[in-house]
Amino acid sequence: MDAYNDLNDFDLMSLIKKDDHDAYREIYYRYTAVLYTHAYTRLQNREEAKDVVQDVFSYLWSKRSTLDFQTNISGYLYTSLRNKILNIIAHKKIEINYSGSLQAFLDQNEADTDHLTRTNQLRAIIEHEVVNMPSKMREIFEMSRKKHLSHREIAQELGISEKTVKKQINNALKILRMKLGIANYLFFLFFFYKS
C-alpha cells in the first residue's frame, strides 16, 4: 500500500480502471475526510454526510471502467458530491414544504421550473460578467472554476506565480460580488464556484 502513496491521482485512476482495489483505497483515504467535512458543513447531519460520501465513492467504483476524466479527480469528486448534496437538500425542501399535500406535489414541477429558470438566469449573468473580464483574469478564473485546477496547477500551466493567480481570482470575485449583489453572490459561491 505504501507504494500507492507516491502515485498521483491520474496514475491511481488508471489503476482503478484496471480493478486495482489498493489504488481505489488510496483515492478513498486521500479524499474522504475533505469530502466528509464539506458534506457535513452543508447538511449538518453526520450520518447523511457519511452516506453521501460513501455514495460518491461507490459510484466511482461501479463506473470505474466507463468514466472519462477531463479534469482532475478532486474536481470530479467535488462535483459529484455537490450534486448529491443538492439532491438531498431539494428532497428535504419538498418533504418539509409539501408533505401530505397532493396539490403541492402537482405544483412542484412549476417550482422546479422556476428555480431552474432563476438558476439559468444567474448563470447567464455570471457568464456575461466573466466574458467581460480582462482576458488574463478570465482565463485564470475559468481554469479555476471550470477545470477545478488549484492555484499551483494554474500557475504551473501559465508560467506565473501562485500569488498572481490568487490575486486575479480575488479580483474576479470582487467584480462578481459588485455586479451580482450579496444574495446572488453567495448563491454563486455555493452552486457555481469551488474555492
Write out the chain in H/E/C secondary structure: CHHHHCCCHHHHHHHHHCCCHHHHHHHHHHHHHHHHHHHHHHHCCHHHHHHHHHHHHHHHHHCCCCCCCCCCHHHHHHHHHHHHHHHHHHHHHHHHHHCCCHHHHHHHHHHHHHHHHHHHHHHHHHHHHHHCCCHHHHHHHHHHHCCCCCHHHHHHHHCCCHHHHHHHHHHHHHHHHHHHCHHHHHHHHHHCCCC
- Residue ranges, the chain, pLDDT below 50: 102, 106, 190-191, 193-195
pLDDT of residue 138: 86
pLDDT of residue 95: 57
Q: Fold for 1-99, please state it.
A: Rna Polymerase Sigma Factor; Chain: A (1.10.1740)
pTM, to two decimals: 0.48
Delimiting residues of CATH 1.10.10.10 domain(s) in the chain: 101-195
Delimiting residues of CATH 1.10.1740.10 domain(s) in the chain: 1-99
pLDDT of residue 195: 40
Residue burial 21-58, b: 16+ Cβ < 10 Å; e: rest: eebbebbbebbbeebbebbbebbeeeebbeebbebbbe
pLDDT of residue 55: 92
pLDDT of residue 177: 73
Domain 101-195 class, CATH top level: mainly alpha
pLDDT of residue 164: 92
